[in-house]
Chains A and B, each alone.
Chain A
Amino acid sequence: NAGVTQTPKFQVLKTGQSMTLQCAQDMNHEYMSWYRQDPGMGLRLIHYSVGAGITDQGEVPNGYNVSRSTTEDFPLRLLSAAPSQTSVYFCASSLSVSNYGYTFGSGTRLTVV
């Protein structure tokens, strides 16, 4: 099993550009979520999904969109990149949050200039 796969690993964007961060898991996990990690602030939840077709906002959703058309994929879209979105982004998934907790991808380091 590949686990949770994130692409790309690194990305540089210009202010105002849009892009999609990809996240895929091959473990048939229902729960998927996106976090951003900033120095001194820990990880903060952006959006999450409890199953295909269902998404909801986390702590810091502004400037980001998500969709969940399949169980496997949970892409994160930056609509118009801003320097404040420079961060490391992590995708996570879980089969049963109460029993197994979350499995994380290796992250995407995004720089907006």
Chain B
Amino acid sequence: KQEVTQIPAALSVPEGENLVLNCSFTDSAIYNLQWFRQDPGKGLTSLLLIQSSQREQTSGRLNASLDKSSGRSTLYIAASQPGDSATYLCAVIGDNNDMRFGAGTRLTVKP
């Protein structure tokens, strides 16, 4: 059974810092990995999708990497802003198209 772990569970940083969120998974046989953002009381917004053949994806200040062999992904946020405060969720999609989520990292960026 695929298990997804996100570390740390919570993170508080001052505005302007660069930061890294970590995601690990136990079964490397994945189709792709998707990072989401969730604001309190809201749904999930897709940030980045990394296909299994890719090593990284970038969107603006966000960069996500994938190392399938070691079962790890990182989400790098450059020059963090208070608007980045949210919970970030990592999810892996297996070969039967089901998606397994980590419990998330709750990020607070202080002005």
Contact = CB atoms under 8 A, between A and B. Distances in A.
Interface stretch (A16-24, A43-51, A68-76, A78-86): A43-51
B49 interface: yes
A66 interface: no
Interface residues of B, number: 24
B51 A99 contact: yes
Given A48-B98, A97-B97, A106-B43, A43 B89 contact: yes
Contacts of A41: 103
A47 B97 CA distance: 12
A103 interface: yes
Contacts of A98: 31-32, 51-52, 93
B94 to A, nearest CB: 9
Nearest to A105: B43
Contact of B43 (A48, A90, A100): A90
A64 interface: no
B93 A97 contact: yes
B97 A42 contact: no
Contacts of A44: 101
Interface string B60-103: 00000000000000000000000000000101010001111111
Interface in B37-60: 42-46, 49, 51-52
Contacts of B52: 98
Contacts of A92: 44, 99
Contacts of B32: 97-98, 101
Contacts of B97: 31, 48, 50, 94, 97
A40 interface: yes
A44 to B, nearest CB: 8
A42 B99 CA distance: 12
B34 A102 contact: yes
Given A43-B89, A97-B93, A104 B43 contact: yes
Contact of B103 (A42, A90, A101, A106): A42
The 6 closest A-B pairs by CB, nearest first: A106-B43, A42-B103, A101-B49, A104-B44, A43-B101, A101-B34
